[in-house]
Structure 1
Amino acid sequence: MQRFNVRQIEAFRAVITLGSMTKAAELLGISQPAVSRLMLDFQEAVGFRLFRKSRGGAEPTDDARRLFEQVEKLFVGLDELNREVHAIKNLTSGSITVAAMGLYANGLLADIIARFRQRFPDIAIRLDSQPQERIAEWVASRRADIGIASLPISNSTLPVRELLRRPVLCVFPADHEFAACAEIHATDLADRPFVSFPRGTPFRFEIDTLFERAGIDRQLMTEATTHEAVCNLVAAGLGISIVSPYSPHLRRNPALAFRPFLPAISISLGMIADEGDLSVAAREFHQFVLDDIKNHVAGEAERPPATQ
């Protein structure tokens, strides 16, 4: 069997549907002899007779009618394909997977995703909470489109953009004596119960180094693996701690109070992505995150300082 082409199939569909090669030619914007030529070539390609002459025009054979059923299915599929292409381009269809440290998945990022969904309600988003060391791996292996993690990210072969850099906060029970202070200094924590992160984590190492160099001892009797768990322990009265500034949901806890900590320790938030290979939806989300944080920073600069 010879190969046939899309133009022949389009002409065949028009002739069967309209029952006339002349009408088919008008619909397709070509001459009637051109339609006849297409049908002859198509008939030769399929290897069986497609039409018989009749007074009313071109009458399809039984074989042609059976073939037409398959052609209709093909065009229905093409219509669906065109609709999906349009939906992807116009962001009314698509999906995004974001891998993020639990700290960001539960706080800042959740708010950003909510604002993104308000603008693009038809885009499906999956948020996977992963440890810091797995974020780059997930993006590189395409298990996630975008990764959000603390900087530096030592194991990433993909581009990393710094999104924010903010100083850490000191957290304590809302009824603590520190509530009267505008800021908390490292010396204020001397000999006080302190809720730590596990040994071996970069954040714990940085905090311990600061206190050791200053010669300040703390009572290190309690620790937890996440910022949320640390805050819960602080709220339960087990001590004071230093936590990330990127957890707005934690700062809504009325049992807790937060103040700037000095000397300042900053945490940088970064975004990992293979920017040249993102889907339309993921590329839009990537840019949305950049714009949203830029607007957030600009809004902070315009607002007068708020009391903690």
Structure 2
Amino acid sequence: MLTKYRALLCAVDCGSLTKATESMHCTQSALSRMILDLESLWGFQLLIRSKSGVRPTPDCLKILPLLRRICAENELVRDTVMDIRGVLCGTVRIGVFSSIATFWLPHVIARFGKAHPDIEFEILMGDYSEIEDWVAETRVDFGFAALPVSKRVKALPLHEDELLAILPETHALADREKVSVADLAKEPMIMLEKGGLSTFSVDM
């Protein structure tokens, strides 16, 4: 039954049966069968399927926290047993945005994996607000975001990145070596988020 719970949680977290099968290392028919078994057992629909993927039904949302707790407790039992045996193991869930997932995290995980080969990693991709929500809800063990963050979570600065403005060659500010935030205050900007590109203006 735990495998079926994990299948449902994975489908919800991935938002796609195809992506969930990759994470679960099973066929899509097997994953669909497990979810259908739960729907038959409980007597209500769990997922809403569409061309864009899957999302939980209102009834499913009510039961998800309980399933997460059951799976977490099972992992805790496993980890405790392995700890008694002197073996470091478990699953670390990390919330990341695209640049961290691409350029930084793979090297860190690779180094850590050599020292602790029995530790598994589960990576959830999202934007800053989603990652903060996941940390606050303990859906992930930790996440990467840009400061400042809300008081719901604790933040530890890890890296100070350079902020760059990318401008067309014909833009009035393009010939400057440095551009201040005040210079950009009334300029339209494009920000990459999970759902795609959104345009907004910065107000000072």
TM range (shorter): 0.3 to 0.5
Q: Does 1 or 2 have the higher relative contact order (CA < 8 Å, sep 6+)?
A: 1
TM-score by length of 2: 0.44
Higher Cα Rg, which structure: 1
More strand by share: 1
